[in-house]
Structure 1
Amino acid sequence: MSTATDTREEQASACLKEAVALRPELLKYARKLTFGDDDAAKELVQEATLRLHESVQRNGRSAAPVKLLLFRIMRNSHVDAGRVRGRANNIYVRTRNGDELTEHAGLLHMSHQEVQHSEDAELVTLLAERANLELTARFSLTERIAFRLTAENFSTREVGEMMGRPHSTVHFYIKQIRKHLQLFLRPLLK
């Protein structure tokens, strides 16, 4: 047992040495991902190196080259961080017993975020208020929350898992709400 652990430690140390040798290439790739932000690029490289080290310590080294593994980890970390930044924390809340759902201001909140510099901000706010009232009157709380979660970059599978519903049902909710909003807003926008 200790020999396997020792072997993994040696493999992890070898991966770290290789990561140090690859650092200039890793930083170049990380700068591309972060659009030239040096601090974010350095953090991304450091996070990828630590994740690889932990993974090798736990599972042993895979057959893939270290460079490829580090690039993959950096890309996935960057994408995950972008998804997290794009989501609001207060959209969907379950109580400890799991039966209470709450929602934030919804379309009105999103319209304020998207149209901060627009001349038509008042019109957009008015349309968002009307659309929000229409959604509240027509659709259930569960359907509205599913719609708003997908608007915040959650996939239908993720929303389905959170709500305990099949993703096809969530997809149906989204389709129905989009169709209804298009029909509702079309005459108002003319």
Structure 2
Amino acid sequence: MDLFYLAISATFVNNILLAQYLGNCPFLGVSKRIETAAGMAAAIIFVTILSAVFTWAVLVYMLRPYGLEFLQTLTFILIIASLVQFVEIILKKKSKVLYDALGVYLALITTNCAVLGVVLLVARKELAFIEMLVFSSTSAVGYALALLLFAGHRERLQISAIPRSMQGTAIALVTAGIMSLAFIGFRGMAN
């Protein structure tokens, strides 16, 4: 499989957030300010790549050889939850400001279906190690890109004249839909 094609596809064409709509809760919850969205994006990139590496290794070296693939979802959830706790401990010690800014949203990474979706897609596609690294990292970067673009747009919406009935979540969902359509435009580039 061509790695460049895989990277473009995971980042833009099959964006884990805008094309597959996984990870919606943090997307809508953290995207009100760019600073918070940037912190969440960095945490999601870090956790997604680490999760993909650990889950791939467990799947290839422990579950598949012993015919235990039926345990993959439970195992993957436990690995992701452990890694999120690890990230939380590091943020608490190294960046108290970012830890406080993320608040409850850091816990959302544990149940973020985008992270779980990436590792399950890696398992389903039976990717080799390098392909897994490219796919997981570019999927996470695609998620971060969508989150940061959306946060920038939502900051501009706060100073825009929007009818009362469309303010808040309503305009956010309309904006997310328009962003999804924009990302679908990349389908002709790589599919």
Instruction: Judging by fraction of residues, say which structure has more helix.
Output: 2
Is TM (by shorter chain) over 0.5? Answer: no
TM-score by length of 1: 0.31
Which structure is higher in RCO with an 8 Å CA cutoff and minimum separation 6?
A: 2
